Structure 1
Amino acid sequence: MRKLMIVVGGSLALAAPLASADILGVGATVSYWDSDFSGEVVNKDSAVDIEKDLDLDSDSNANFTAFFEHPIPVLPNVRLNYTSISQSGNGEIGPEGFDGIFSADVRSELDIDQFDATFYYEVLDNWVNLDLGLTARKFDGELVVRDTVIGGRVSKTSVDAVVPMGYLAARFDLPFTGVSVGAEGNVISFDGDSLHDFNAYGQYEIAMLQLRAGYRQMSIDYEDDDDKLDVELSGPFASVGVAF
């Protein structure tokens, strides 16, 4: 498998001297993302539409986040995030075929797992909050398509990569209400491959509890040898978290 490894030298230097957290802080959130899938998967010279041909439905989309912030100016804060996406469905491959499967009813499973380690600095930290940093993202995606005929062909398409991405998060707090609105995202584009992951949300905070709801969109356009994943996921999400 081809690994996309990009060194983005010096990018954090823009943010490092600007700001840091005032106090020590830790937190964690868990969320559910009700996403719709669209796009295609390519195996060698054949392609399949995951929405029209495979009729995939969401089985589970889970997301876990933890962060650690500190008042040391030179060192970045750390944010860890894990997203697991599982889709399955029954569809039909036409006479044009996909990876040796022709004119057949199929059962398909698509799984995408990604782990982010984000290193960021707080540029602003008051009613207006702004974080800048870099994310190292490890993602794995696999599509398995099975001809439903007994003894039928099984096709497997997989991509995996470790990529750095730019990270930005902004939030505006409505004073004395516990209510805030914000957005955050990761993005990179290099040599024909691109990934982006954005969300916008509203949040209500009471004591140490944070309740958040919003909309998230993620796009993966990545080629790994003869396999290619070109998909987009989007939909609403809700999360609950604690911060100390």
Structure 2
Amino acid sequence: MNKTLVATALFGLLSVSSAQAATVMGFKVGGDIWNTDASGTFNADSNAGNATGPAQNYDYGSKTQGSVWLAIEHPIPLVPNLKIRENRLEASGSKDSSDFYYNQVNFTGASTVYNDLSNTDFVLYYEILDNDLVALDLGAAYKQMHGSLRVDGFTGSGLTGTATQRDIDSGVVMAYGSAQVGVPGLGLFAFADVMLGLDESGVHDYSAGLGWQFDGVALDTLVRVGYRDFNFDVNGFSDTTQDMQFKGAFAGVELIF
């Protein structure tokens, strides 16, 4: 693509975002309760080393998870706004019969896997549109994982109990978008938030739903309900290969100062 066209498009985007920037410094804090159904697999090692082996299936249960966030919006031109969101994501499953290597341990018999995909989102974004009818934020994010993949079970002919884990502590660069369409005067709106992995294309984090905004003197309150889908399909990420999905309904509250 012609460099002049790219520069022109970038300047236009920044100009629009500057025009739509907040007129005063603002803060948003919020939290969601998310009822997740987890499913997926992780790959064993092909031998006592770390090469990829066969996928292991477990029956994961449902669990209530949570997210909390803080966003800072300001009127400084060209400087992006900041949002930090902490996401708690854990799943566990068991099976009666196992026969695989993981982290240099040969598991046999019954085993339980604990998959912690908790993460923190660091988002830089511009307000492209911001009015009572349509709001649009675009930017980039870095999803820092801080979980682990642990297997508890038995090993050897004597079925000795053992446990081993690998930390999942790498990060994913992601594209970010957030859109909101409202009904002026009623406080009702529909929303969608999207995060797409750029260096890990099998990672995404979607949510969509409905909300109601109640305007106050010192702060505004938003109540939201919707559906969220987090997919984590990676190969050799923090020495793990897995394809996990967390999805389900959520409800939350956001306060705008």
Common topology (TM > 0.5): yes
In structure 1, how many angstroms separate the alpha carbons of the residues matched to 2:238 and 2:117? Answer: 18
Unmatched tracts of structure 2, length 5 or more: 1-6, 47-52
- Letter of the 1:18 counterpart: V
Cα gap change, 1:216/1:12 in structure 2, threshold over 3 Å: closer, same or farther? farther
Equivalent residues in 2 for 1:43-82 (5 A)? Answer: 43-45=44-46, 46-49=53-56, 53-82=57-86
In structure 1, how many angstroms separate the alpha carbons of the residues matched to 2:25 and 2:212? Answer: 21
Aligned pair count?
Answer: 229
- Letter of the 2:121 counterpart: D
In structure 2, how many angstroms separate the alpha carbons of the residues matched to 1:110 and 1:12? Answer: 40
What is the deviation of 1:36? Answer: 1.2
Cα gap change, 1:173/1:233 in structure 2, threshold over 3 Å: closer, same or farther? same
Corresponding position of 1:5: none
Equivalent residues in 2 for 1:134-213 (5 A)? Answer: 134-147=140-153, 151-190=160-199, 194-207=202-215, 208-213=220-225
TM-score for both structures, normalised by structure 2: 0.80
Cα gap change, 1:180/1:225 in structure 2, threshold over 3 Å: closer, same or farther? closer
Corresponding position of 2:231: 219
The structure, 1 or 2, with the larger RCO (C-alpha pairs under 8 Å, 6+ apart) is: 1
Range with greater deviation from structure 2 (171-180 or 68-77): 68-77
What is the deviation of 1:182? Answer: 0.9
TM-score for both structures, normalised by structure 1: 0.84
Identity between Structure 1 and Structure 2 (%): 25
Corresponding position of 1:122: 127
The answer on whether the counterparts of 1:31 and 1:64 sit within 8 Å (CA) in structure 2 is: yes
Greater helix fraction, Structure 1 or Structure 2: 2
Cα gap change, 1:157/1:169 in structure 2, threshold over 3 Å: closer, same or farther? same
What is the deviation of 1:170? Answer: 0.5
Coordinate RMSD, CA, aligned: 2.4
SS of the counterpart of 1:21? Answer: coil
What is the deviation of 1:225? Answer: 6.0
- Letter of the 1:217 counterpart: D
What is the deviation of 1:91? Answer: 2.0
Which one has the largest radius of gyration?
Answer: 2
In structure 1, how many angstroms separate the alpha carbons of the residues matched to 2:166 and 2:187? Answer: 46
In structure 2, how many angstroms separate the alpha carbons of the residues matched to 1:209 and 1:215? Answer: 20
SS of the counterpart of 1:34? Answer: strand
Structure 1 stretches of 4+ with a deviation exceeding 4 A read 10-14
Corresponding position of 1:235: 248
Cα gap change, 1:189/1:124 in structure 2, threshold over 3 Å: closer, same or farther? same
SS of the counterpart of 1:75? Answer: coil
In structure 2, how many angstroms separate the alpha carbons of the residues matched to 1:13 and 1:98? Answer: 53
